[in-house]
Structure 1
């Protein structure tokens, strides 16, 4: 049975306040001014989504339109009232709209997806199903939460592309900062950065254990580095195998990111 159509109402702008769980935190002033000019000419085409509160209305979706309408000098804005939504459901409505409009910065997207997963205790795959995206989409964005704060700012400001950020997310903080500087100074493409990261890993000093205790040290250090259990076995001739254990596809995604693997 289809859901009933929500009635659109004209709500006074000064009675509306942004929701506390809004995923979006940054608004481009120039883009906002352009939207305000469009609203002056044509009005607000799509209504915002609100919930009733004792002090007025809480904005769930459409903050950019609300801000632009203020700039345009409007006193009222078309809105749909959704008092049927819980706090968690209200957050999802706002997040999905922003994702569909691609209006969030990369780090806002990552934080929003993390919050969604925490609210409903969802796996990466379940988060993707909830917002109409793939598991890989979710995992790639959540990796960005491993970025150093300075690098995250560069990503949000557009100095580093999402591909750069994904490649850097598995590196240490020191390496992230160094390679981020390299990308900006030399205008490296994502593929160039990936190749340089791979080359740097190959040049690292190879560990050459001798006694059984050395193997245990290596296993412990690799386990700490990869955040997954690691076992190493070798015969006297130097042949052997290295095994890395993971417990879920989400954990595998994190492991692949830490070793610098980028899916094609």
Structure 2
């Protein structure tokens, strides 16, 4: 896909005729980084062209919004561009998403939302999404898990108050617990490992079960099934020895189970 973009002719397009696309994955632009890029553009110009589509009102920006914004800030009247009128809405979205992922210019939550949108457009599994964007299944699963975070926690991740590792640990908790532990992690400046250890100790304290009658096992099965979002069976003899079985139907479901028990796919 990138080779197709590079093969198209480059032309100068008036900046004031360009508007960002409605499906742009990127929403946040660091003001300091934007100013730094604008200063570079004043000196060296725009090195890589943006990608556009023609519209009745002008041009829709498909990829390169940061360059376009910085060029405006630098006072440019035109910007080098590749015009791709051969793209469908879906293809245009994919081009923009892949460029942002390759440049690592999206926030973690923007990346997660973009990957989710890609999966919805094409009805893809996590592995198939990874193949489309050149990433592993684990990469996709870990990012999509961030969408389980409460919005205030997502905001902390986007503002870089919490790292991706913190976010993955918090994603398996109920919303109220996410907020509480996110606050603890920020206030105490916990490393990812420190947060993981604290959450593991918390889970160990909670895993206390004392059955009184056979029906208690069924209650436990139902509660575990609800918690893990997969069928769970528990078998035990009178001495207390037994096994717990978790049934899953895909690797994506397995990723969800592992997240809920606190195991992080690396």
Q: TM-score range by the shorter chain?
A: over 0.9
Structure 2: state its 5+ residue gaps. Answer: none
Displacement over 2 Å in runs of 4+: none
Matched residue, 1:176: 178
Give the C-alpha shift of residue 205 in structure 1.
Answer: 5.3
Structure 1: state its 5+ residue gaps. Answer: none
TM-score by length of 1: 0.97
Give the superposed CA RMSD. Answer: 1.2
User: Does residue 1:245 correspond to 2:250, yes or no?
Assistant: no
How many angstroms apart in 1 are the aligned matches of 2:163 and 2:93? Answer: 27
Q: Secondary structure of 2:7's match?
A: coil
User: Does residue 1:209 correspond to 2:211, yes or no?
Assistant: yes
Matched residue, 1:142: 144
Matched residue, 1:199: 201
Change (3 A) 1:247 1:205: closer
Matched residue, 2:191: 189
Q: Secondary structure of 1:203's match?
A: helix
Matched residue, 1:40: 42
How many angstroms apart in 2 are the aligned matches of 1:194 and 1:27? Answer: 30
Give the C-alpha shift of residue 237 in structure 1.
Answer: 1.0
Matched residue, 1:82: 84
Give the C-alpha shift of residue 208 in structure 1.
Answer: 1.3
Matched residue, 1:118: 120
How many angstroms apart in 2 are the aligned matches of 1:205 and 1:104? Answer: 38
Give the C-alpha shift of residue 163 in structure 1.
Answer: 0.2
How many angstroms apart in 2 are the aligned matches of 1:168 and 1:122? Answer: 26
Preserved contact between residue 138 and residue 265 of structure 2 (Cα < 8 Å): no
